[in-house]
Amino acid sequence: MRNEDQQPEADRPVTEEVEEGQALQSRRGLLRIATLGTAAIVTVKPGIANAAVSGITCSIPVPQSSQAGKWIKKDGTVVNPNTAQSYDPPETPLKGEDVKNSLAYGTRYSGYNQNATNAFNNYIKKLTMGKQGYTCYSSIQSRI
């Protein structure tokens, strides 16, 4: 006895040929999607590598340039110079690598004691979108 799969091509019903055609089209569609997905992954990888480097080379001004001349209080707020429990900010922006090490491992910024470093870190932790240094800080956060 012969089953349907063993029938010669001429004896197969037309509906079976239509089903095979649809299955072939859906397989081709899946291949197209897989190909596009592979291209997207290849395209994204250089961007990820570039982001990894930017976390090391970026910098964070403390405080931002619109608040130049202000000092940083130990809780991270920006205050007038010589306010109690506040620290003279760094003359140059802090390097991303230094900020990363300080936040992750508790290292001090060169030329500053631990209290000043903590005040600067508290300022950095309060950065919000739109402020200078926020993009650098967010890229550092993704690596800690």
pLDDT value of position 102: 92
Q: Which of helix, strand or coil describes residue 86?
A: strand
DSSP β-bridge partners for residue 40:
none
Quote the radius of gyration of the chain (alpha carbons, Å). 30
pLDDT of residue 57: 83
Per-residue pLDDT, 6: 61
Instruction: Indicate the pTM of the whole model.
Output: 0.60
In a structure prediction context, what are the per-residue pLDDT tens digits for the chain, which is 144 residues long? Answer: 556 556 555 555 555 565 666 666 777 777 777 776 665 555 544 555 445 544 468 999 999 888 989 999 999 999 999 899 999 999 999 999 999 999 999 999 999 999 999 999 999 999 988 898 888 888 888 776
Question: What pLDDT is recorded for position 55?
Answer: 46
- Residue 136 · residue 55 · CB < 8 Å: yes
Residue with tokens 């931002």: 64
First to last CA, the chain: 69
